[in-house]
Copies of this chain bind each other. A is one copy, B any other.
Amino acid sequence: MDIKHYMNEVGQRARNASRAMAKADTAAKNRALELIAAAIRREADALRAANQQDLEAARANGMEAAMLDRLTLSDKAIATMAEGLQQIASLADPIGEISNMKFRPTGIQVGQMRVPLGVIGIIYEARPNVTVDAAGLCIKSGNATILRGGSEAIHCNQALAKLVKEGLHGAGLPADAVQIVETTDRAAVGELITMPQYVDVIVPRGGKGLIERLMRESKVPMIKHLDGICHVYIDDKADIAKALRVAFNAKCHRYGTCNTMETLLVAREIAPRVLPELAKLYQEKEVELRGDEEARAILKGYPHLATATEEDWKTEYLAAILAVKIVPGIDEAITHINLYSSQHTDAIITEDYSRAMRFLREVDSASVMVNASTRFADGFEYGLGAEIGISNDKLHARGPVGLEGLTSLKYVVFGHGEVRV
């Protein structure tokens, strides 16, 4: 197989399909989503069989348990995929929305229209549910998409792609609006990220290694997210009950997620009152606390106590480990966060109005919070209705990316024969 030639054809087909998708009406897009959902329910047995093929091959190749788990398409996962599509169908159509049409002194009326980005390339690991979620979001936002999932899920992805195409066809939309890269050759990824003539944006969903490689090599802009080194700062004007609740939840609700707290900053004045109480909560979960000298003095006797080094402030543990640092106050907290945070999500716990406002303004992260758990940084929790990923970048979309992140605004001018003088 000539990968370059194959990907070029995939790209051309996607570009052509994107024109039809851009002008597709809301009813047709929703109809496609409903048809795909129905086909997934109908073909549950066939999907499980295809998944079984992938799982057997993966086991034979010695895939580790956590990855096998993500690769597995359970009955529940199949039902969730179908429901997810129906949820996307129920969201308002962002495309074609015209806003802010204002008259100018020249007589023209100027505003903006929301339009699709065009063709979206999505590169992800062996998680079949991403195939359907991503396809659904791209259909609703009027984009064409090229999906490159982990090669270990190829049979399941092909089975899903067939159902997606059936749904598109049934709704009168081009089947090429969603294409799966049919080869497991890695060279296909290299082509996908270097065809700016066919691909408008790449959304990588995967580990840091993958994303760093794509950043080096991509000629197409990316909506990407690297680490989630999230902070909670407990101010000395904090309500202690809120501080305990939030700091416990931000660490222990789930360890492996990017919006989990990795470093806790505590104001010196309140530390002796709040840290021992918090330690009692963490102890139940056997959380390792890596403290600076002051924190260790306060936490003396905690059974899982360790010493924090410079490296800890830069580490995303994704585990039952928390770095703890005592700071004199909000100035040092903000300085520490702006230096070490991955600009994902950071929170302050305080009852002080001016400090809350300063934290919101001065912490340079995609999500900044007052008195809430960092775990809320999520497209569904924010009410976006869906999420294609979380962006730590500043240009275009920042934070959880929903349908709007897959669109852009063009200028629209209503005139009456006006000319410039």
List A residues at the B interface (Cβ < 8 Å).
19, 22-23, 96, 102, 104, 106, 108, 110, 113, 115, 117-118, 200-201, 221, 239, 241-242, 245-246, 248-250, 253, 338, 347, 358, 360-362, 364-373, 375-377, 381-383, 393-396, 398-400, 408-420
Q: How many copies, total?
A: 2
Rounded to whole Å, the gap between the CB of A26 and the closest CB of chain B is 13
Partner among B22, B221, B420 whose Cβ is within 8 Å of the Cβ of A364? B22
User: How far is A117 from B108 in the complex, measured between Cα atoms in Å?
Assistant: 31
Q: Is the CB of A417 within 8 A of B382?
A: no
Cross-chain contact B373 with A419 (CB below 8 angstroms): yes
- The contact sample of 18 A-B pairs, CB cut-off 8 A, is A22-B361, A22-B362, A104-B383, A108-B372, A113-B360, A118-B394, A201-B394, A245-B417, A245-B419, A347-B415, A368-B413, A369-B413, A371-B417, A372-B414, A372-B416, A375-B419, A377-B411, A400-B411
Whether A361 and B96, one on each chain, are in contact in the complex, defined by CB atoms closer than 8 angstroms, is yes
Contact of B383 with A415 in the complex, beta carbons under 8 Å = no
Q: Indicate if the CB atoms of A395 and B360 lie closer than 8 Å.
A: no
Give the CA-CA distance A361 to B411 in the complex, in Å: 11
For A372, the closest partner residue in chain B by CB is B415
Chain B nearest Cβ from A117, distance in angstroms: 5
**Bound complex: CA A221 to CA B219 (Å):** 11
A360 cross-chain contacts in B, Cβ below 8 A: 113, 412
Assess the A102–B383 pair: CB atoms within 8 A.
Answer: yes
Cross-chain contact B102 with A417 (CB below 8 angstroms): no
Find chain B residues with CB under 8 A from A347 CB.
Answer: 413, 415
Given A106-B376, A200-B394, A395-B221, also A370-B241 (CB < 8 A): no
Specify which chain B residues have a CB less than 8 angstroms from the CB of A382 in the assembled complex: 104, 110, 411
Q: A239 to B399: give the CA distance in the assembly, Å.
A: 47
Residues of B within 8 A of A366 (CB): 410-411
Least CB distance, A142 to chain B, in whole angstroms: 10
A398 surroundings in chain B (CB, below 8 A): 408-411
Chain B residues contacting A117 (CB-CB under 8 Å) are 394-395
> Nearest-CB distance from A73 to chain B (Å)?
26
